[in-house]
A and B are shown apart, each in its own frame.
Chain A
Amino acid sequence: MEIRLEKVTVRFGQETLFSDFSLLLPAHSHLLVKGDSGSGKSTLLKLILGFHSPDAGRILIGGELLTATSIWALRKKMAYVPQRLPAVAGTVKELLKHLHDFQANQGIPFDEERALEYFECFGLQAGQLQQAVRELSGGEQQRLSIVSALMLDRELLLLDEAVSAVDAARKSQVVDYLTGLKNKTLIIVSHDQGWQADQTLDLSQFNS
C-alpha cells in the first residue's frame, strides 16, 4: 500500500512542526522513522491514521486521498501498534475478540489457534490469554499489541516505538519477524537499533 504525503504542513499554535513536507513510500516497503523527541514521529502516524489533520497539503494512502469520508475505509487497511497499550479492562482474549467483533473485521473472525501461534512466536504463554491485560508487563503488552495488529491482517502496519519495552532477548526476535513481512507496508517509529528498512527518515532534519 503506497503512502504519499504532499507538501504537508503541521502547526501547533505558533510552532510549525512540518512545513511543505513530502514523502513517498512505495507499497510493500518498510520505512524507519527516527528523530529527536518532539520532532513529529508520532504526529506522522497520527496524520496517516486521521487523528491529526494537516494545516496544508495532502495525504494519499493506496492512491486514495485521505479525507473525513475516506478515512473510515482506509483504517480498515491499517493496523496501529501504539507505544503503550491502553489500559483496557478485561482479559487478553476478551480484548483480541473485541477487536474482531467490529463490523469492519467481520471477515476475519477471532481465531484462538492463530493467536496462540503468534503467542508462541513472540514468547507469550498460552495461559496469558486468560490474564487481565492490565496485569501484563510493559513488554508483554507491546507484544500483545503486535499480535493483535497481525491478527487483523492489514496491508499497512504503523508501529510507534512498538518494541521499546520488550526485553533485549526477545526484541531481536520480534524485530526480525516484523522486518520479514515483505508483503506489507511498514512505518516503524523507533529509537531501537536493529531495524532493517528500505528507507530511513530522520524527521529532525525537517523541523523548522
Chain B
Amino acid sequence: MENPVSIPLSAMAAFYALLFIPAALVWYFRLGILRRLAVAVVRMTIQLTLVGVLLIYWFRWDNAWLNLLWVIAMVGFATTSAVQSSKLRLRAFFAPVFLALLISALSVLLFFNALLLPINEVFSAQYLIIIGGMLLGNALKGIVIGLSDFYQRLQDQQDEYRYYLAAGASRWEALMPFFRNSLQAALNPSIASMATMGVVFLPGMMTGQIIGGATPDTAIRYQLAIMVVIFVCIALSVVLAVVISLGRSFDGYGNLRKEVFRV
C-alpha cells in the first residue's frame, strides 16, 4: 500500500471555499447561525492546527507519562464540554463526570492497547492518544445524552419518582426507571450505528486507515475492535457518571436538588 497523498495548501483553500455553499444557504434561509458557523470553523481550524503541532512533538518525545498527561487533559476538556452541553451545573458535575470518563476510558483504552501491542508500547502516543481521543469523543456524546435524559426526565416527571418514594422505594429503586431510560437513550445511537456500519456508511477510522495505506482487512479488524471498545466505554461512562453524580444531586430525603441545573 502507498502512503497517503498529502493535501497542498491550495487544495485546502479549495475545500474551505466549499463552505460558502452552506454559509449561503444559512444566510438565504435566515437561520441565524452564520456567526456560530464562522466561529466553529475558525475554532476547529485553530484547535486542530495547534493539536497537530503539539502531536508532532508528543510523537517525537513519545514519553509514557506525557502521553498519559495528554489523555487526562483530554478527559478534562471532554468533561467540561459534556457538562456544559447537558445544561447541568459544572461545579456540581465536573468531578463525577471527570471520574466516570477517566475510569471508563482509561480502563478500556489500556485493555485495547494491551491486547494489540507489546507491553512496552501500551503507553505509546500513536495508540494511547489517538485511540483515547476516539473513545473520549464517543463517551462524551453518550454522557451528554445519558445525563441530560436522566436529570431532565427526573425533573419533568418528579411526581412519578416521588410516587415510588412514597410507596417505600429506596432512592435507587425509585430512580431505576429513569436510569434505564437514560442508558437506553445513550446507547441507542451506537447500536443503530453498529447495525448500519458498512452498509450505510464507511466509518471514519477505517476510511482513514485505508487512505493511510493499511489493507482493507487490517482496517476492518481495527474498526470492529474499536466499535466494540467504544460501545463498552459509552456504557461504562454513562453508568458511572449517573451513579457517581447521585451523591451530590439529592438531599437526605431523596429530593432532587434544584441547584443541579444551570439557570
Residues of A whose CB lies within 8 Å of any CB of B are 49-51, 53, 67-69, 71-72, 75-76, 78-80, 82, 84-89, 99, 102-105, 148, 152, 158
Q: Let me know if B253 and A50 touch, CB within 8 A.
A: yes
Q: Which of A72, A78, A84, A152 contacts B159 (CB 8 A)?
A: A84
Please tell me if B164 contacts chain A, counting CB pairs below 8 Å: yes
Q: Which one of A51, A68, A71, A80 lies within 8 Å of B167 (CB-CB)?
A: A80
Q: Are A152 and B167 in contact (CB under 8 A)?
A: yes
Besides A68-B253, A75-B168, A102-B164, 5 new A-B residue pairs in contact (Cβ under 8 A), listed by A number = A49-B162, A49-B166, A53-B253, A99-B164, A102-B167
Interface size class for chain B? 10 to 19
Contact partners of A104 in chain B: CB under 8 A = 168-170
Asked if B166 and A103 sit within 8 Å, CB to CB, the answer is no
Instruction: Report B134-165 residues with CB < 8 Å from chain A CB.
Output: 157, 159-160, 162-165
Asked whether any CB of chain A lies closer than 8 Å to the CB of B173, the reply is yes
Evaluate whether A105 and B167 lie within 8 angstroms (CB atoms) in the complex, with A69-B252, A71-B253 already known: yes
Whether B255 sits at the interface, judged by CB under 8 Å, is: yes
Residues 104-145 of chain B, each 1 if its beta carbon lies under 8 Å from chain A, else 0: 000000000000000000000000000000000000000000
Task: Assess the A82–B159 pair: CB atoms within 8 A.
Answer: yes
**B254 close to A (CB within 8 Å):** yes
In the complex, A180→B159 CA distance in Å? 28
- Return the CB mask of B62-94 against A: 1 if under 8 Å, else 0: 000000000000000000000000000000000
B217 at the interface (CB under 8 A from A): no
A-contact 0/1 string along B226-237, CB 8 Å cutoff: 000000000000
Q: Are the C-beta atoms of B168 and A102 separated by less than 8 Å?
A: yes
Does B2 make an interface contact (CB < 8 A)?
no
Which 3 pairs across A and B sit closest by C-beta, in order of nearness?
A68-B252, A104-B168, A86-B160
